[in-house]
Amino acid sequence: MSSDPSRNGVQPEPSAAPAAPAHTAPPPRALPGGGVSRAHRLVALVVDRPGVLNRVASLMRARNFNIDSLAVSRTDRADISRMTITLHGDDVAVEQAAKQLYRLIDVLKVQDVTSEPTVEHELALVKIRATDSTRAEILKLVEMSRGRAVDVSAEAIIAEVSGPETDVDAFVALVRTYGIKELVRTGAVVMARGAQSIEEALKR
Amino acid sequence: MTTRQSDPAHPPSQAAPPSDPAARPRRSHVPGDGTDHARRVEKARKDMLHEGASATAGRPALKRTRIGADVVCEALLRQGVEVFFSYPGGVILPLYDVLGDYPQLRHVLVRHEQGGAHAADGYARVTGKVGVCMGTSGPGATNLVTGIGTALLDSIPMVAITGNVPAALIGKDAFQEIDINGITLPMTKHNYLVRNADDLPRVLAEAFHIARTGRPGPVHVDITKDALQQETRAEHPTDDQVMAGLPGFRPNLDGHGRQLKLAALELARAKRPVILAGHGVLHAEAWDDLRAFAEKTQIPVAWTLLGIGAIDETHPLAYGFMGMHGWKHVNRAIQSADLLFAVGMRFDDRVTGNVRTYAPYARIVHVDIDPAEIGKNVAVEVPIVGDAGRVLRALLPMVPEVDPLARADYFAELADWKADSEGSSWHGSGAWRDGHLSADYVVSRIGELSGHEANYVADVGQNQMWLARYAGFRSPNSHVSSGGLGTMGFSVPAAMGAALGRPDRETWAITGDGGFQMTFQELMTLVQDHIPVKIALFDNKKLGMIRQWQEIIYAGNYHSAHLLGPDYLKLADAFGIPAFSAATPDEVDGAIRAAQAVDGPALIWFQIAEEQNVFPMMPAGKGLSDLIENWGGADE
């Protein structure tokens, strides 16, 4: 989280701002945020204590941020959990979300990895309606999407697909015509490419 | 013998019951009977009903073992707590059982837990120390909630301790069980649920550390009844151990060097700068640093509601109270400024109004200890994250000394505005002309006759704004007001805590008839504990601010603005509190002096003009340049 909160605000230069006569309407002050809304990925390392997930979720709700997905897991360190939060918002709003997360005592580190090169993965299980006439076709599509049929029964196939969110979206759209009986997605997990490590950054 | 149907969740193992019911073994109603869990629940139930052997009952005080409740008392003493405000109840009784062994801890029995929380808040605001309040589970805990919220919005260091049902009963909707941990989670800086006495020393040490470190705030510690009763040998941690146990809590105190340089550049370039001083200056005890900084840079200081007292109002560079009901000249200065140097304030909507039209020519340097405050409401040019005092001290040698003559034109203009604004705002309603008692006059007399050096505790509404504008504050931490949450009923209980925190000063509770009727049960606490709060009750027989808004914004639709009240002299008399009345300006000084002469609490019933407004006023959604200065009958 190393950004300048003022970058969204276009401000008059001081030299161009003498006390103007009262009848000239001054330019409106830029509000924080108001920029383009886009998907952001936040990675948060938190102390693994009871209720920490509740704290994060409660904060996001109370501060009016909408979480698209939230994935929580252990890390290599027993006392630390990792959360991957995806949300929509402009850069300033998401930075505000990250700063608010930092205020939680149990949050150790928050990083917005949206603009960094990352590996992003999500896993989905899709239970697709299958008949004798469509089964082969569906299996072919699963294979083409680099997925796996993990359960095949008389009337359905469970396909496992993984990859970036967009790949999963594409697969789901592809098989929707056959009838999706059930769908579960884990939500994205991300990791920055290269040798840098958010976990090692903790050991300052 | 039971004839009812078996619980579908626990079907009997035999499908066909014996035909003779008497021969059949009695089915247990205990879910999961025979398991450890069931035994724990059963024991907890017995403990709740005080059937189980109490950990402390019937033993000589000196020979008893150390239990969780002792740890709580030890922790309070270690943290320097002299007084706390509490109300007993079923599950916190183990604490009351040992309290007698700690005579150094003063326990004030409040009449309602909300009063206890506000009292802890008032104590914290005048002393700068952590205030402590307690209550039992369920309703005791929920009654604390308003006070905790008040402390959160105003960043007040507070530790609220509640009892909870025994750990094994949590989640079973036991008597007086509520998920208070879930309730306080979004409205505390941090909260804890302690189920084990061994955890208490660490948790309580952390709670106090978190409450007062960085941006202060309330911390809630919920302790199960069995944790209060368990024997424990756990030791209290050292400060280093507390820090090590909180790896995610490292507030940034020193401003970043590069940002400080940028700020110094902005300050050097500014022609019309204004310092905006907030509560952070008081939290950081940086009033001397602020004055030195303002004097060296020759920048006038405006303050927020909670920044009152950051600078002596008689100082030549002290310019005034800003915002919705602030002085017109102050808001004008902000609107025409080319630089706002904001220290320890958060650009609340009551300060900025419409952000789009706020300070349109100004660049902003924003100093705050909480990074989340920077860029939250207003985009700023130079963010500095740090403690107000440390940043001001670091910046002082970096800024050039400014000759007051260099700002002569600026100062002359500011002085003109100030003279104009003070002249027109004084007695803005015109009530005084009809011989009615005007609230601003009363407030100014209270300020004058108490030497501007008392604890002045506001309630919420018109009385709060009159106090902020007209009392004349000379010293830090003398003004106490519920700013962020705007909690009516705050004044009397908070004054109770303020009076105990700073007994060297007089304490005045400034309240309206609305707020007073919310929490006046604490009058009895004032009497019982002989707490010398002087209550200035401004009775306009109205919810004054509601009436003002209805008059100006809702076209005079005065629904529910009229408020019936009792005969306050009789009311005070019933509590055994000396009370005085003033209905005309010439009765004011006498009533104030009479109340001051009382040893203990006293009340003055000021029967003020019924339709006096607070002007100027910035209507919601408008900007600082759109102040309403009079209305309707005011000038007729």
The CATH number for A48's domain is: 3.30.70.260
B77: which 2 tokens? Answer: 């003493």
User: Looking at the complex, does the CB of residue B247 fall below 8 Å from at least one CB of chain A?
Assistant: yes
- Show residues of chain A in contact with B271, CB under 8 Å: 18
Token pair 């804890």 in the structure block, residue:
B192
A73-96 as b/e: b if 16+ CB within 10 A: eeeeeeebbbbbbbbebbbbbbbb
Q: Please tell me the predicted confidence (pLDDT) of residue B421.
A: 84
- Quick: pLDDT tens for B275-303: 999 999 999 999 999 999 999 999 999 99
Q: Is residue A194 included in any domain, yes or no?
A: no
Sequence-separated (6 or more) residues with CB below 8 Å from residue B622 = B353, B354
Burial of B292 (0-12, 13-18, 19+ CB in 10 A): middle
Q: Which of residues 45-64 of A touch B (CB under 8 A)?
A: 46-47, 51, 54-55, 58-59, 62
Sequence-separated (6 or more) residues with CB below 8 Å from residue A139 = A149, A152, A157
B62: which 2 tokens? Answer: 């000196």
Q: Is residue A203 included in any domain, yes or no?
A: no
Q: Please tell me the predicted confidence (pLDDT) of residue B614.
A: 87
What number is the average pLDDT over the span B185-203? 97
Split at pLDDT 50, 70, 90, the class of B211 is very high
Count of beta carbons in the 10 Å neighbourhood of residue A57: 14
3-state secondary structure of A13: coil
Q: Is residue A3 included in any domain, yes or no?
A: no
- Show residues of chain B in contact with A12, CB under 8 Å: 360-361
Among A26, A96, A107, select the one facing B248 at the smallest CB separation: A107
What number is the average pLDDT over the span B6-31? 62
What number is the average pLDDT over the span B530-549? 96
User: Looking at the complex, does the CB of residue B527 fall below 8 Å from at least one CB of chain A?
Assistant: no
- Quick: pLDDT tens for B393-431: 999 999 999 999 999 999 999 999 998 887 765 555 454
- Strands A118-129 and A189-192: what pairing? antiparallel
- Strands B507-512 and B533-539: what pairing? parallel
- Dist CA B438 CA B615 (whole Å): 13
Q: Please tell me the predicted confidence (pLDDT) of residue A20.
A: 47
B225 given a catalytic annotation? yes
Fold category of B61-244 in CATH? Rossmann fold (3.40.50)
pLDDT at B152 over 90: yes
User: Looking at the complex, does the CB of residue A81 fall below 8 Å from at least one CB of chain B?
Assistant: no
Sequence-separated (6 or more) residues with CB below 8 Å from residue A100 = A59, A63, B372
- Strands B602-607 and B579-582: what pairing? parallel
Q: Which of residues 181-210 of B touch A (CB under 8 A)?
A: 181-182, 185-186, 189-190, 193, 210
Q: Is residue A197 included in any domain, yes or no?
A: no
What number is the average pLDDT over the span A21-44? 78
Q: Please tell me the predicted confidence (pLDDT) of residue B50.
A: 63
Mutate to test the interface with A, among B335, B376, B416 (most CBs of A within 10 A): B376
User: Looking at the complex, does the CB of residue A108 fall below 8 Å from at least one CB of chain B?
Assistant: yes
ipTM for this prediction: 0.86
Q: How many contacts does A have with B, using Cβ atoms within 8 A? A: 101
Q: Of the given ranges (A168-172, A195-199, B134-138, B327-331), which has the lowest mean pLDDT?
A: A195-199
- Dist CA B327 CA B307 (whole Å): 14
Q: Give chain A's largest Cα–Cα span.
A: 81
- A6–B379 CB contact, under 8 Å: yes
% of chain A at pLDDT higher than 90: 68
- A62–B186 CB contact, under 8 Å: yes
B298 given a catalytic annotation? no
Among B270, B336, B380, select the one facing A19 at the smallest CB separation: B336
Q: Is residue A21 included in any domain, yes or no?
A: no
- Dist CA A22 CA A14 (whole Å): 18
Q: Please tell me the predicted confidence (pLDDT) of residue B625.
A: 87
For the domain spanning B257-418, the CATH number is 3.40.50.1220
| Fold equal for B257-418 and B429-614 | yes
Give the DSSP H or E segment for B269: helix B257-269
B175 given a catalytic annotation? yes
B192: which 2 tokens? Answer: 């804890």
Q: Please tell me the predicted confidence (pLDDT) of residue B368.
A: 98
B313 given a catalytic annotation? no
- Show residues of chain A in contact with B246, CB under 8 Å: 105
CATH code of residue A180: 3.30.70.1150
Are A40 and A76 members of one domain?
yes
Q: Of the given ranges (A134-148, A190-204, B347-361, B484-498), which has the lowest mean pLDDT?
A: A190-204
Provide the mean pLDDT of chain A.
86
pLDDT at B392 over 90: yes
What number is the average pLDDT over the span B570-593? 96
B466: which 2 tokens? Answer: 């009159």
- Dist CA B17 CA B610 (whole Å): 78
Q: Which of residues 151-180 of A touch B (CB under 8 A)?
A: none
Among B271, B356, B376, select the one facing A96 at the smallest CB separation: B376
Please work out, in degrees rounded to the nearest 5, the angle formed at the alpha carbon of residue B621 by the alpha carbons of B618 and B624: 40
Q: Please tell me the predicted confidence (pLDDT) of residue B104.
A: 95
Fold category of B429-614 in CATH? Rossmann fold (3.40.50)
3-state secondary structure of B294: helix
Token pair 């002792």 in the structure block, residue:
B70
User: Looking at the complex, does the CB of residue A24 fall below 8 Å from at least one CB of chain B?
Assistant: no
Q: Which amino acid is at B597?
A: A
Domain that holds residue A61: 33-112
Split at pLDDT 50, 70, 90, the class of B25 is confident
The number of folded domains in chain A is 2
B104 given a catalytic annotation? no
Active-site position among B175, B231, B271, B448 = B175
Are A98 and A40 members of one domain?
yes
How far is the alpha carbon of B412 from chain A, nearest alpha carbon, in Å?
A: 15
Q: Which of A84, A86, A64, A65 has the alpha carbon at shortest distance from A75?
A: A84
What number is the average pLDDT over the span B132-139? 98
Are A87 and A147 members of one domain?
no
- B357–A47 CB contact, under 8 Å: no
- Show residues of chain A in contact with B248, CB under 8 Å: 46-47, 104-108
- Quick: pLDDT tens for B335-359: 999 999 999 999 999 999 999 999 9
Sequence-separated (6 or more) residues with CB below 8 Å from residue B179 = none
3-state secondary structure of B227: helix
Q: Please tell me the predicted confidence (pLDDT) of residue B130.
A: 98
